[in-house]
Amino acid sequence: MTYIHPETQAIRTQTERSQHQEHSVPVYLTSSFVFDDAEEMRASFAEEKQRNIYSRYTNPNNHELVQKMCLLEGAEAGHAFATGMSAIFSTFAALLDSGDHVLSARSIFGNTHTLFTKYFPKWNISHTYFDINDLDRIETLIQPETKVLYVESPTNPATDILDLTLLSTLSRKHNLIFIVDNCFATPYLQQPIKWGADVVIHSATKLLDGQGRVMGGIAVGSESIIDTIYRFARITGPALSPFNAWTLSKSLETLAVRVEKHCENALALAKQLEKHPRVKQVRYPFLPSHPQFELAQKQMKLGGNIVTIEIEGGLESGRAFLNAIEMCSLTANLGDTRTIVSHPASTTHGKLSVEERQSVGITDGLIRISVGLEHVHDIIQDVEKALVNI
Ligand SMILES: *Cc1c(COP(=O)(O)O)cnc(C)c1O
């Protein structure tokens, strides 16, 4: 039986039961798998027979997680990784050759930026950034060597929305591989493949786990692209631990209810903060004041769990705000049950110049709130109290 609704797919997709008839799937903590005889072993290594051989290649828990993610994203195939960054690195390393060029949105995860700027040159891979406000010019930035178009939407931390249909049309026209990091939306809110993406990447560490426990990454896409990525990964070894795969697969069972509530809390907080005299600006994709409100409504089911606010007074008041927070956590994660506040200008983006920060929408007084699942009144109270005390 196949199910249509993502809630059901995420709960009812399950590894085949063992002879014990367990209800909840076991953790397959095993490095390798045994063969009945020499012929079975030969056929398995020759890939005439599809089965588990070694957990660096495949494992039943990883397979279950990947299967669920393929159903949720509407993808043919996928592979799971130890972290989001290993999914990103392996995808690029598998698909790119020396001399290739990547066209990427400027607003991307900091470590992905470092991968492009510090490590790609070692392998003679170049990149160009485009500004999301400058989509008209993007086509002029495509070179004969351009192989990949790379974006995140919504972006971190500015919550800008990129038009995935427009970008996928451009990718088709120029024969590029269109890769979307869908970490901030999750497949519950946005399925980039539906809008024409070729590969969708996730840091499963964030909302997919959603409880700040394990790290993981995943890439999904067409059979042929994923096979290329898988072949690279099975040799180089960024395998996801079966225990983490089990944890993440269980987390997906509650993805829909968690993300619904995250978004409900985030919207309520965003609306409340729009009225606050100490807040210069609130950005949340599902607020009518968001510059891409209509596009967000078209592409996403709900607005996500990230709210950014701009407060008066720049760097100093940003830091003072964090110090005045009592309940919310100051930590380098997002998409947790616990609300997390951060001040990008003095932390994650502290090494960038003021101009570089501004080009990705990070002002000195910008606060990022990863809205959690606490009662929304408690979240609002903590943030409002901190605003009064800065
Ligand atoms: C966290 C994050 C990553 C990296 O994932 P890890 O699991 O930390 O390696 C990549 N992209 C985005 C958008 C992220 O937020």
Per-residue pLDDT tens listing for the chain (390 residues): 677 899 999 999 999 999 999 999 999 999 999 999 999 999 999 999 999 999 999 999 999 999 999 999 999 999 999 999 999 999 999 999 999 999 999 999 999 999 999 999 999 999 999 998 888 899 999 999 999 999 999 999 999 999 999 999 999 999 999 999 999 999 999 999 999 999 999 999 999 999 999 999 999 999 999 999 999 999 999 999 999 999 999 999 999 999 999 999 999 999 999 999 999 999 999 999 999 999 999 999 999 999 999 999 888 999 999 999 999 999 989 999 999 999 998 888 887 888 888 888 889 999 999 999 999 999 999 999 999 988
In whole angstroms, give the CA distance from residue 342 to residue 102.
Answer: 30
* Residue 190 in contact with ligand 1 by CB distance below 6 A: no
Buried b (16+ CB within 10 A) or exposed e, 378-389: ebbebbbebbee
Distance 238 CA to ligand 1 centre (A): 15
Q: What pLDDT is recorded for position 348?
A: 83
Residue type, 65: L
Indicate the pTM of the whole model. Answer: 0.96
* Residue 181 in contact with ligand 1 by CB distance below 6 A: yes
Q: From 81, 83, 85, 92, give the residue whose CB has the most ligand 1 atoms within 8 Å, as the site to mutate.
A: 85
Tokens of 240: 């996801």
- For ligand 1, atom 1, the nearest C-alpha belongs to 203
Distance 187 CA to ligand 1 centre (A): 15
Q: What pLDDT is recorded for position 322?
A: 95
In whole angstroms, give the CA distance from residue 81 to residue 237.
Answer: 9
* Residue 215 in contact with ligand 1 by CB distance below 6 A: yes
- For ligand 1, atom 8, the nearest C-alpha belongs to 84
| ∠ CA 256-375-182, rounded to 5° | 35
Q: Which atom of ligand 1 is nearest to the CA of 334?
A: 15
- For ligand 1, atom 11, the nearest C-alpha belongs to 109
Tokens of 359: 């080009």
- For ligand 1, atom 4, the nearest C-alpha belongs to 84
- For ligand 1, atom 12, the nearest C-alpha belongs to 109
In whole angstroms, give the CA distance from residue 175 to residue 169.
Answer: 10
Coil, helix or strand at residue 19 = coil
Where does the chain hold its CATH 3.90.1150.10 domain(s)? Answer: 255-389
Strand partners, 13: none
Where does the chain hold its CATH 3.40.640.10 domain(s)? Answer: 7-16+26-252
* Residue 335 in contact with ligand 1 by CB distance below 6 A: no
* Residue 205 in contact with ligand 1 by CB distance below 6 A: yes
Which residues, including other chains, have CB under 8 Å from residue 266's CB and lie 6 or more apart? 284, 303, 304, 305, 306, 307, 369, 371
Q: Name the residue with tokens 């709130």.
A: 369
Buried b (16+ CB within 10 A) or exposed e, 201-217: bbbbbbbbbbbbebbbb
Q: Which fold has domain 7-16+26-252?
A: Aspartate Aminotransferase; domain 2 (3.40.640)
Count of CB atoms situated within 10 Å of the CB of 296? 25
Q: Which fold has domain 255-389?
A: Aspartate Aminotransferase, domain 1 (3.90.1150)
Q: What pLDDT is recorded for position 1?
A: 67
Q: What pLDDT is recorded for position 353?
A: 83
